[in-house]
Structure 1
Amino acid sequence: MEFRRLHPLLRLASRPLLSSSRRFSVYDDEMEQITRPDWHVVMNGKYNKGLAFTIKERQRLGIMGLMPCSVRSMDDQMNAALANFEARPTDIARFTYLSAVHHRHRRLYYRFIKENIEKSLPIVYTPTVGDVVATYGLNFQQAISLFISIHDKGHIRDLMHNWVDEGVKAICVTDGGRVLGLGDMGANAMGISLGKMILYTALGSIPPSTLMPVCLDVGTDNQALLQDPLYVGARIPRVKGPEYDELVDEFMESAVKCFGNNTFIHFEDFATPNALKFLEKYQYKYCCFNDDIQGTGATGLAAFINVERITGRKLEDTVFLFVGAGSAALGIANMLAMELEVRGIPAEEATKNIYLMDVNGILTPESPNPPEMGKIFIKSMEPMKDMMAVLKKLKPSVLVGATGVGGIFNEEVLKTMAKNHERPAVFPLSNPTANSECTAEQAFTHTEGRVLFGSGSPFPPVVINGKRYRPAQANNCLTFPGIALAAITAKARYLPNEVFSVVSHELARNTPQELLDEGTLFPPIKDAHNVAFNVGVAMTQYLIDNDLSNVYPKPDDICEFVKRSLYKFDYRNSLPTTWDYPVEPPTPKPKTKPKTKPKE
């Protein structure tokens, strides 16, 4: 794909002098000689600095007088943004305010999220993103993403040529098949792709102009959406079968043809059968990644490694029970099995203590239609559907919930875990908060504060008998920004499963010992930016060392190599660099030939 490569400021200077609305009725020769940039471009969110434009910049860019004369620093603007953010009465109102900041002041927006991540993460990501998806049509205002519908089949490259930024290096794509615990959300799922890409920049420091959020709109089987007059997607039943597969194939082929073979493609919130199918199909053909399977798997394994560090019980001697057998549970369980094999445990032994339950109970040879990735966990035992019966029989010390069903880890379940183990580990991973299998307060209360806890949704601290407990959040934002950073920086050819083991161990190492001593399994969210960088460096090192990178020659210092690619969160000079030239001597006048007399 061909893009214009003009410097942004040169593009500004190349625009018409003045639009007809800005011309004066009286001719002024002096003013007519002045070239003025298009103020709409200067005020575009990509370039706009608001009151941080210096007086010199305002004068040179032709915007002097279009704003008050005061000049604010970035810190001043950050304080104003925080005051506005906190003044909003609801989380949706805060999301709307931040979206407006993104439209007006992109660099300020990303720095605000980075430096206020504990306050802003629940707004731009889970749990508020669930409300954003549910009301996407109601709040849709402008296109900042790429929608590809089933009706565009055969023309996806044409759509990609319409994209607003050049140099795309990463794409987050969803088809809305299974969004959080909300189910099929069709085209509304674009809110998820946008939320992921916001964190690519805010936490992974990946330049936003290199990112493209995509929704494959193949219809929806959600009748409430089909009957909603404000729904923005195709009002047709969800397309399945060969036509659907061909659309995804065309999307993948078009992405690398338009943006290059190293384009990183992140699959998000596809229904489990499709997520597994496309991961198997594309993993070694493209530089692609499924966050629901591999990102969740890496995050979960990091938690288990820290459980091992706290309890002293080896993973191979631990009994794990996964309640739910969707993409999240399968991703974590398979990552755990791979870790055990790396430790020298034979394959048939590695899965011995890993049990999966779906709606039909423990996976056994009698289970109907077990997922392909779950077959290695099938146990030759009597079918058991009741969770309490399973807990009493197996006595797992690690309980993982990925069901989307709120409250199923009830008081009896939690007290049983506490009865069987001194430090039980409980992971209610379902999002949004209403779908969490239990709350942090329930988990700590019913285990007398002994639980090792990690949830998908954020929960406030819990106080029991005067002691304060900080619930850890098993949030993929601790892994996927670093994974994306490494894949882009290293120009990864493909991402084998072993890469995500590196991610898990690096994330576990980033949890300070003082937090482990308190029973906290993950680093605090406020450190997510540093964690993303460390994960990115470790994974980049692995990709380059194992010939999975297209970077040549090999960098001498991987850390510095990664740093050079990072997005800068500070304002810089908006004017092109100028420099002095020596004064040239006067141009010599051409010599005139003497006139010759005409011959007589």
Structure 2
Amino acid sequence: MEFRRMQPLLRLTSRPLLSFCRQISVYDDEMDQIMRPSWHVVMNGKYNKGLAFTVNERQRLGIMGLMPCSVRTMDDQMNAAHANFEARPSDIGRFTYLSALHNRHRRLYYRFIKENIERALPIVYTPTVGDVVSTYGLNFQQAISLFISIHDKGHIRDLMHNWVDEGVKAICVTDGGRVLGLGDMGANAMGISLGKMILYTALGSIPPSTLMPVCLDVGTDNQALLQDPLYVGARIPRVTGPEYEELVDEFMQSAVKCFGHSTFIHFEDFATPNALKFLDKYQHKYCCFNDDIQGTGATGLAAFINVERITGRKLEDTTFLFVGAGSAALGIANMLAMELEVRGLPVEEATKNIYLMDLNGVLTYESPNPPELGKIFMKRMEPMKDLMAVLEKLKPSVLVGATGVAGIFNEEVLKTMAKNHERPAVFPLSNPTSNSECTAEQAFTHTEGRVLFGSGSPFPPVVINGKRYVPAQANNCLTFPGIALAAITAKARYLPNAVFSVVSHELARSTPQELLDEGTLFPPIKDANTVAFNVGVAMSQYLFDNGLSSIYPKPDDVCAFVKSRLYKFEYRNSLPTTWKYPKEPPAPKARPKPRPKKKATK
């Protein structure tokens, strides 16, 4: 009985599906005439506004009914994003949420970071970016960046033509050779390039569609990654020598051939020898910049200028000790030396009070294999490896750490700095937080609150004897977004070191006097967007005034010119602009064709 009931259904479903659909479909001529944009285009993160689409936009874009009927303002959506962000139980969870938000609602994403920069910066940048890099393969979701492997050598232009956006104006490239304090991270270092480009937009207001994060995957010597089944990069030992350098050469040439010679190329987290080599090779041939050397140098010099303002002690009379002789220390020390030379000191005088220490101790003429940028700081003195002995001998008033070794500025070191100087300056610059040379609490506690402090990672406020101290963050995010903004806006031909001195002085000026009076060396992170704009304007002015721009004629108002190029963080009309045309007069009627004459009949 049941089988007989099912027979009609069985006969129906046994017909070919297409034939069945044709039988039940109804042709609707009215609907057949309507052109609809692709739903996938409308919902693309670049265009999507979510519930902020108006009813009119939903109807005309053909998405009415595909979302609830309520319409939210951007502020409403910001509140929803904030609630979602705070609901996540961990920083990695918050990072993952923001990444998903970026894929769905790009403009909302950048506005959220911009307006919540103090809360969001540690999530999209240091220190959480260190965890993101370490777990990159585990959390990889979709491609929003360009990977160029050593196996692509000879075909880099082909890869660049696959990029998702046209009009690239800036590239952040890494080879993962030395990421933060984590070492060789191979292809996982893409997380760093992405983090930098996020801040280009959130702080520098650079349109995200003009940015391309790149990882040159040349393998890795990190055995943990090579043995990790989730590692996303090439499972080969890191390629070095001519083959590696030829790949970088091809990348540089391909970038300018594809996107133009004024393309801004930002080198990030290359191992120190390679970073120095490529900076020397490309600085005056391309519009390029190394953040680890020049960005850190500009940020460090700004701090020293403010130390000078607070203590009244001239930089030329100050003794500096850099513990660590990698990219960061070399960049800051050379920027400092350049500043002193600008003030009229000869090279020997400018460098005599600047000391560098590496694994072999203070850099002297007897030191083995000194870095090229460090040779001007070599001293004629006995080799000294013990930090405490160096502090007692040199009595530096400025101590900079760029070692990646946590806790190296211990209680004894900090108390010695406080014993020798009324207002010692201490800068533990290593990232992430776990690698910092000392914490803010240790620095303020062991100097009785007298320290002038700036760290690479964020630290919470410190309370000593009822007095609250807010640690300043010597973060490159105060410089590189503005540097990128200026280089892109002015279409810089190349970037000589002098432009970074301009950046340093502008950053130093951005610190309000009331903060200097409290011993704070940098403007607050909440003002980073304003600082980036001011840095961008000051540097653009320098580029225009010194013939370093490809734009001619020079804009009459550089500030207004820069402002006109900024990314807008608000939703706007998603529909093309329409306008009225006058009513056309009726077309003239066609003249009737003359009738053929009839032939006369006989």
Q: Flag whether TM exceeds 0.5 (same fold).
A: yes
Q: What CA distance in whole angstroms lies between the structure 2 residues aligned with 1:366 and 1:248?
A: 33
- Give the secondary-structure state (helix, strand or coil) at the position aligned to 2:129: helix
Shift of 1:24: 9.0
Counterpart position of 1:12: none
Q: Secondary structure at the match of 1:554?
A: coil
Cα deviation, residue 29, structure 1: 0.8
1:299-332 CA distance string (max 9 Å, x none): 0000000000000000000000000000000000
Q: Which residue of 2 aligns with 1:422?
A: 422
Q: Distance in 1 between matches of 2:172 and 2:143?
A: 16
Classify the secondary structure of the residue corresponding to 1:503.
helix
Question: Alignment partner of 2:163: what SS?
Answer: coil
Distance 1:25 1:131 in 2: 54
In the aligned structure 2, how far is the partner of 1:474 from the partner of 1:590? 79
Report Cα offsets for 1:310-368 as digits up to 9, x if no partner.
Answer: 00000000000000000000000000000000000111110000000001100011111
State the partner residue of 1:200: 200
Q: Output the CA distance in 1 between the equivalents of 2:594 and 2:447.
A: 110
Q: Distance in 2 between matches of 1:30 and 1:172?
A: 50
CA distance in 1, matches of 2:593, 2:385: 109
Kindly name which structure, 1 or 2, has the bigger radius of gyration based on alpha carbons: 2
Supply the AA of the counterpart residue of 1:125.
Y
Question: For residue 26 of structure 2, what is the aligned residue in structure 1?
Answer: 26
Shift of 1:581: 1.1
TM-score normalised by L of structure 2: 0.95
| Letter matched to residue 443 of structure 1 | A
> Could you tell me how far apart the structure 2 residues matched to 1:25 and 1:477 are?
59
Q: In the aligned structure 2, how far is the partner of 1:274 from the partner of 1:380?
A: 28
Provide runs of 4+ in structure 1 moved above 6 Å.
none
Q: In 1, distance between residues paired with 2:208 and 2:176? A: 23
Separation of aligned partners in 2, 1:520 and 1:123: 23
Match of 2:84 in 1: 84
Shift of 1:594: 3.4
Q: Distance in 2 between matches of 1:69 and 1:421?
A: 66
Secondary structure of the 1:581 match is coil
Query: Shift of residue 597 of structure 1?
Result: 2.3
The residue that corresponds to 2:535 in the other structure is 535
Aligned to 1:4: none
Q: 1:500 maps to which residue?
A: 500
Match of 2:356 in 1: 356
Give the equivalent residue in structure 1 for 2:15.
Answer: none
Uncovered stretches (5+) of structure 1, i.e. residues with no partner: 1-20
Partner residue, 1:161: 161
Q: Deviations over 1:524-550 (max 9, x none)?
A: 000000000000000000000000001
Structure 1 residue 599, shift from structure 2 partner: 2.7
Deviations 1:287-310 (A, max 9, x none): 000000000000000000000000
2:42 is aligned to: 42
The aligned counterpart of 1:109 is 109
1:312 equivalent to 2:315? Answer no
Separation in 1 of the partners of 2:582 and 2:346?
75
Indicate the residue corresponding to 2:172 in structure 1: 172
Number of matched pairs: 579
Paired residue for 2:247?
Answer: 247
CA distance in 2, matches of 1:431, 1:24: 65
Report the CA distance between 1:157 and its aligned residue: 0.2
Match of 1:480 in 2: 480
Alignment deviations for residues 358-397 of structure 1 (CA, whole Å, 9 cap, x no partner): 0110001111111010000000000000000000000000
SS at match of 1:266: strand
Residues 437-474 of structure 1 deviation map (CA, whole Å, 9 limit, x = unaligned) = 00000000000000000000000000000000000000
Counterpart of 1:454 in structure 2 is 454
Correspondence 1:463-478 to 2 at 5 A:
463-478=463-478
Alignment partner, residue 213 of structure 1 = 213
Residue type of the alignment partner of 1:312? G
What corresponds to 2:122 in structure 1? 122
Matches within 5 A, 1:1-400: 25-400=25-400
User: 2: distance between equivalents of 1:594 and 1:47?
Assistant: 58
Partner of 1:3: none
| Aligned equivalent of 1:15 | none
- Structure 2 portions without partners, runs of 5+: 1-20
Seq. identity, %: 89
- C-alpha distance in structure 2 between counterparts of 1:482 and 1:301, whole Å: 16
- 1:126-147, CA deviations, whole angstroms, 9 ceiling, x for partnerless residues? 0000000000000001000000
Q: Deviations over 1:167-226 (max 9, x none)?
A: 000000000000000000000000000000000000000000000000000000000000
Give the residue type in structure 2 aligned to 1:367.
Answer: S
Cα distance per residue 1:218-245 (max 9 Å; x no partner): 0000000000000000000000000000
Take 2:94 and 2:222, find their aligned partners in 1: how far apart are those partners? 28
Q: Distance in 2 between matches of 1:589 and 1:33?
A: 29
Q: CA deviation at 1:111?
A: 0.3
Q: How large is the Cα RMSD of the aligned pairs?
A: 1.0
